[in-house]
Amino acid sequence: MNNIAQLIPKFVLNIPEDLEGGILFISGEHRTMIHLCACGCGNEVALPISPIDWRFTFDGETISISPSVGSWSLSCRSHYFIHENQVHWAEDWSDEQIEGGRRRDRLRKDNYYPKLSPLGASTPSAVSHNGKKPAGWAWLSKLKHWITGRFDKK
C-alpha cells in the first residue's frame, strides 16, 4: 500500500466511474467530493459538501478541506487532514472518540435540520466498486424531495 501524499483537486460535473489515486474530484452539481483513500487501500471516500458536513477552500491552485477525513468505517481507519493539497496524517481515534464525534455530529444535524432526523452520520461513506452511488447521494436526494415536498404542499 502506498500512501498518497498529495491530492490534486479536479472539478467535474459528474463523478467519474473510475477514480484515480491522488485526485480529489469535486462535483458542485452533486455537492460531493470523492477520492481514493490516501492510505492507498483503494477504497473510495465520498465527502458530502454542506454547512454541516465538509467544506473546501480553493485558492486557485490548492485545496483545503475541513473538517478532517476520518474513515472509521474502512478497515484502514485512516484519519487525515487535507491542507493545500497535502495529506497530513492524524492519529487513529479510539472507539470512544469516534462515538463522541458521531454524537456531536448528530447533535449538530438535529439542530440544523430539526425535522429531518435521523440523518446519516457525516463520516465518509465508503463504496465498493460496483457502480453503487455513495451514501451521500441518498440523503441528498432525500433532502431534495423533502424540500420539493414542502414547496409543493402550500
46 binds Zn ion (CB under 5 A): no
7 binds Zn ion (CB under 5 A): no
Q: Return the residues of window 104-133 that contact Zn ion according to CB under 5 A.
A: none
41 binds Zn ion (CB under 5 A): yes
22 binds Zn ion (CB under 5 A): no
The number of residues that bind Zn ion (CB under 5 A) is 5
Listing DSSP states for 100-141 in one string gives HHHHHHHHHHHHHSTTS-----SSPEEE-SSSPPPHHHHHHH
> Of 4-12, 38-46, 58-66, 125-133, which segment contacts Zn ion by CB under 5 A?
38-46
CA–CA distances in Å: residue 135 to residues 32, 48, 121, 141, 150: 11, 9, 10, 10, 23
Residues forming contacts to Zn ion in the complex (CB under 5 A) are: 37, 39, 41, 76, 78
